[in-house]
């Protein structure tokens, strides 16, 4: 059952009790015609949605019947991972969409959009009577897209969310691709997919809330990296802290931990899962937090509580001989502690000096290569020596060569001795 039919069935259920809605019922019934691919304009659907909301607000019988309609609770369930999106749904900041297509016994539906000036969240589902377990890998095709995150689909019809972030602004339209694979597929190449869906999505920008911008322009030091906190931008779906950084030796800000205090005593924290940071050579770094858009509050303070810094140091790659226990091309600030090869495990330990106010170091990336063969470390452990140094121990299993090449990588979690507070007043 699609979203329009749910609206219609709800109104039909109440028709006997509310004769004044007769004309609305007739109009709803006239929209039942369905093709294999169905597209309803966002503006028309928004009008239906607005009528539905109005009826709920003014009629007790309808409000009672609403509790029986599954999609309202289902959408709320689909956004439970995000405090910002949950508030947007609560405030009915949703663009209903109806796009349905069936291929080779698999049906894909695009049902809702939650969009603002910089981000679009697409809610979709994939179902099939022929397959019991499917995985869906979505992607967006649009000029100016910057990054995206999402999760795979399931054949039980679960409503899923795919987030698309834009470096400039949300476009008027874009194409969403859904590549569908059977679970356990050895290859996720497009040619191995069961089916691919292409949906052309249009955004109704008249329904989008305007961003609230709070300029800051303040220089701060984060773990030895000088950054300029440019502004706080508040959108309906998220808050982003805009940053320009002056990177040294390829070191960059990977993640910023912060919270925002408001004039109403509320606290909004940085996002810890999913898309937490995006980067653009033109627009700098954006660090994400929960949105205060739908709250009657103004930000008063930005408080920085920590950060993650990372980056490749240079392109000189040390080579470890697992037979002799020697390492060539190793930086002079890194000490090789031990090399051990036992059974199917290769374990290598390095010692380096810890920088001030930091923990959880990483000095090599997970990637391991040698003579065209590549793999990744299976285990990683950083141990504080207590004397200003730490030891990083790396383990890889079933490595087929006597040597391996490492990629120098600088990554550590920085925590200030005192929180950095920036006043917006």
The C-alpha atoms of residue 422 and residue 425 are separated, in whole angstroms, by 9
Q: Select 3-207's CATH number: 3.40.50.360, 2.60.40.1640, 3.40.640.10, 3.40.190.10.
A: 2.60.40.1640
**Range list for CATH 2.60.40.1640 in the chain:** 3-207
Asked whether 94 and 166 are in contact (CB, 8 A), the reply is no
d(CA 404, CA 401): 7
Predicted local distance difference test score (pLDDT) of residue 52:
38
Cα 318 to Cα 231: distance, rounded to the nearest angstrom: 41
Distance in angstroms (rounded) separating the CA atoms of residues 113 and 201: 9
How buried is residue 323: exposed, middle or buried, by Cβ count under 10 Å (0-12/13-18/19+)?
A: exposed
In 3D, which of 25, 161, 6 has the Cα closest to residue 70? 6
CA distance 101 to 109: 7
pLDDT at residue 135, rounded to an integer:
84
Report residue 39 as tokens: 């597209």
Place of tokens 């802290």: 241
Note whether 346 and 396 are within 8 A (CB). Answer: yes
Helix (H) / strand (E) containing 165: strand 160-166
**Distances 232 to 225, 280, 422 between C-alpha atoms, Å:** 20, 17, 11
How many Å from the N-terminal Cα to the C-terminal Cα in the chain? 51
Sheet of 195-202, strand order: 134-141, 173-182, 195-202
Strand-pairing partners, residue 364, are: 408
- Non-local (6+) Cβ contacts of 24 within 8 A are 11, 51
**pLDDT of 219:** 94
Burial of residue 231 (number of CB atoms within 10 Å: 0-12, 13-18, 19+): middle
Joined together, the tokens standing for residue 94 give: 């949703």
Q: What pLDDT, on a 0 to 100 scale, did the predictor assign at position 36?
A: 34
C-alpha to C-alpha distance for 317 and 404, rounded to whole angstroms: 10
142's CB contacts (< 8 A; 6+ apart) are 164, 166, 171, 173, 174, 175
DSSP 104: T
Cβ within 8 Å of residue 105, ≥6 positions away? 128, 129, 130, 131
Angle between helices 70-78 and 83-90 (to 10 degrees): 150
pTM of the model: 0.66
Alpha-carbon torsion 88, 92, 93, 94, what sign?
Answer: positive
pLDDT tens digit at each of 425 positions of the chain: 544 455 445 445 544 443 433 333 333 333 333 333 333 333 333 333 333 334 444 444 433 443 434 456 789 988 998 999 999 999 999 999 999 999 999 999 999 999 999 999 999 999 998 888 888 888 888 765 555 555 455 556 788 999 988 877 899 999 999 989 887 654 555 567 899 999 999 999 999 999 999 999 999 998 878 899 999 999 999 999 999 876 555 678 889 999 999 999 999 999 987 778 888 767 789 999 999 999 999 999 999 999 988 876 555 789 999 999 999 998 777 899 999 999 889 999 999 877 655 555 678 888 899 988 989 999 988 887 877 788 889 999 999 999 999 988 777 788 898 999 999 97
- What's the confidence (pLDDT) of residue 197? 95
Q: DSSP of 7-21, one letter per residue? A: HHHHHHHHTTT-GGG
Q: How big is the chain by its Cα radius of gyration, in Å?
A: 26
Q: Does domain 319-414 have CATH number 2.60.40?
A: yes
| Cα–Cα distance for residue pair 216/425, rounded to 1 Å | 10
The pLDDT score that the predictor gives to residue 324 is 95
What was the pLDDT predicted at 5?
53
**Could you give the C-alpha distances from 57 to 53, 63, 142, in angstroms and in order?**
6, 7, 38
Cα–Cα separations (whole angstroms), residue 211 to 123, 314, 362: 22, 39, 37
- pLDDT for the residue numbered 56: 40
CA–CA gap between residue 160 and residue 135 (Å, rounded): 11
Q: How big is the chain, counted in residues?
A: 425
């Amino acid at each position: 059952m699609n979203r329009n039919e749910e609206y219609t069935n709800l109104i039909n259920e109440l028709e006997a009790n509310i004769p004044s809605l007769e004309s609305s019922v007739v109009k709803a019934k006239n929209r039942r015609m369905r093709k294999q691919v169905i597209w309803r304009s966002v503006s028309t659907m928004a009008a239906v949605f607005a009528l539905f909301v109005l009826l709920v607000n003014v009629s007790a019988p309808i409000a009672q019947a609403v509790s029986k309609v599954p999609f309202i609770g289902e959408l709320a369930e689909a956004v439970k991972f995000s405090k910002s999106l949950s508030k947007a749904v609560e405030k009915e900041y949703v663009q209903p969409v109806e796009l349905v297509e069936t291929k080779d016994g698999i049906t894909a539906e695009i049902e809702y959009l939650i969009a603002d000036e910089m981000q679009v969240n697409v809610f979709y589902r994939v179902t099939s009577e022929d397959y019991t377990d499917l995985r869906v890998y979505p992607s967006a095709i649009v000029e100016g897209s910057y990054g995206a995150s999402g999760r795979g689909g399931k054949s039980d019809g679960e409503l899923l969310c795919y987030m698309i972030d834009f470096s400039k602004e949300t476009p008027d339209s874009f194409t969403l691709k859904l590549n569908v694979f059977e679970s356990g597929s050895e290859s996720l190449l497009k040619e191995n997919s069961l089916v691919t869906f292409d949906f052309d999505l249009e955004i109704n920008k008249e329904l989008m809330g305007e961003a609230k911008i709070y300029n800051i322009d303040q220089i701060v030091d984060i773990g030895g990296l000088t950054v300029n906190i440019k502004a706080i931008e508040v959108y309906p779906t998220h808050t982003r802290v805009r940053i320009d950084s002056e990177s040294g030796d390829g070191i960059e800000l990977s993640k910023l931990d912060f919270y925002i205090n408001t004039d109403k005593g509320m606290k909004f924290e940085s996002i810890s899962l999913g898309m937490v940071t995006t980067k653009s050579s033109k627009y700098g770094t954006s660090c994400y937090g929960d949105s205060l858009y739908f709250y009657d509050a103004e930000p008063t303070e930005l408080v920085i509580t920590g950060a993650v810094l990372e980056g490749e140091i240079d392109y000189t790659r040390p080579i470890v001989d697992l037979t002799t226990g020697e390492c060539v091309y190793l930086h002079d600030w890194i000490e090789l502690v031990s090399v051990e090869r036992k059974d199917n495990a290769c374990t290598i330990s390095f010692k380096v000096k810890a920088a001030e106010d930091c923990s959880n170091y990483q000095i090599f990336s997970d990637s391991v290569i040698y003579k065209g063969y590549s793999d990744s470390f299976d285990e990683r452990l950083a141990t504080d020596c207590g004397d200003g140094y730490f030891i990083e121990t790396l383990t890889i299993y079933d490595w087929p060569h006597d040597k391996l090449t490492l990629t120098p990588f600088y990554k550590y979690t920085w925590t200030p001795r005192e929180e950095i507070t920036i006043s917006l007043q």
